[in-house]
Amino acid sequence: MKVYDKEIYSKQESIKTIAVVIIVFLLGFFAGYAANAFNSEDELKNTNSTYVEEDVQK
């Protein structure tokens, strides 16, 4: 004999909804992190912090 409890059912549904939201958030976060890492590879990285300016006199 099955016993149907509305409170238990509603708690289970809310837990499922929260789990889906967390999983979607994590997937989006990791996708954004991977896309950012992929785009930053193309940027020029300046490791030299010293700039030399030459005086040009005409």
Q: What pLDDT score does 54 carry?
A: 74
Provide the domain limits for residue 29: 1-58
d(Cα 27, Cα 18) in Å, to the nearest integer?
Answer: 14
State the pTM of this model.
0.58
Q: What is the domain count for the chain? A: 1
The pLDDT mean for the chain works out to: 82
Of 4-8, 23-27, 37-41, the range with the lowest mean pLDDT is 37-41
Instruction: Give DSSP secondary structure letters for 17-30.
Output: HHHHHHHHHHHHHH
Query: Which stretch of 10-19, 26-35, 47-56 has the lowest confidence by average pLDDT?
Result: 47-56
